[in-house]
Amino acid sequence: MKLVRYGARGAERAGVVDAQGRVRDLSMLLPDIGPAQLAPRTLAALSAIDVERLPVVDVVDAGESGVRLGCPVGGVGKIVCVGLNYRDHAEEAGMAVPKEPVLFMKAVTTLSGPQDAVQIPPGAQKVDWEVELGIVIGSRLKHVKKEDALRHVAGYVLANDVSERAYQIERGGQWDKGKSYDTFAPVGPWLVTADEVGDPHALALWLDVNGERMQDGNTRNFIFDVPSVLSYISDFMTLEAGDIVLTGTPAGVGLGRKPEPRFLKAGDEMRLGITGLGEQRLRCVQAG
């Protein structure tokens, strides 16, 4: 099942994608798609609905006219991220392969939709891209064993961990500073439930900038797999329903380009996708 949220920012409504790829309005049945709607029992009840009876929504497609798609999860409490979780990305960054997952946070104000503009901060020179698999938590995790972790997953999303590298690396430490500008976490188009995704360790992911392929990876190359990541995080903090965990990015980020790094500027366009999780089309604009 593919769930969406559509409408103006801050006023999104719940939707579901039918077998023909059309968005159907769920708002008469659900107030939103957020923590209260992500429990296994609720998702099971939703899967039994005859979506063909629901009204069709004319959502935006490939930048054309239509209703905006927002982040497919509402009421997100926190965004927890895993850094350097692909060996090839650690190598291109010139950093040792970690012995334990590297954790950092993104502010929830970074969240945006799959076709919303990405803002370049005033004076920023090193804005970078990172296509990532996101995990959406469906029920609380606290000191959860690895073998039990996946039962707490509601589903998965496509995400872009946009980063300002000077803020991240050159401004006194703390990666969060380079990760938390508004619009630095485009998510969606869909929340795809775990049963439909199947194995999260066999998904191709890619990202293009202005039509040029920059990243081309696969989640089978994780250093730390999804159960390991969730179990590990749950020993340091409680993960609640609606939280999003970003699992790291493969090689091909702008910082690692040779012979010279390449960074985003106003007017650039990113297109990215993950097998079964849809695609994003993101135009960069200068923030005021």
Give the pLDDT of residue 62: 47
Tokens of 267: 């007017």
**Total residues found in the chain within this entry:** 288
**Gyration radius from the chain CA atoms:** 18
The structure's pTM equals 0.96
Residue 232: phi, psi to the nearest 5? -65, -50
Give the pLDDT of residue 119: 98
Low-confidence ranges of the chain (pLDDT < 50): 62-63
User: Taking all residues of the chain, what is their mean pLDDT, rounded to a whole number?
Assistant: 95
* Sequence spans of domains, the chain: 73-286
Tokens of 128: 């970078």
Residues contacting 155, CB < 8 A, separation 6+? 3, 38, 136, 138, 191, 192, 193, 194, 196, 197
- Cβ 192 vs Cβ 156: under 8 Å: yes
Give the pLDDT of residue 63: 47
Give the pLDDT of residue 66: 82
Pick the CATH number of 73-286 from 3.90.850.10, 3.40.50.12780, 3.55.10.10, 3.40.50.460: 3.90.850.10
The one-letter amino acid code at 283 reads: R
Angle at 63 between CA 60 and CA 66, to 5 degrees: 25
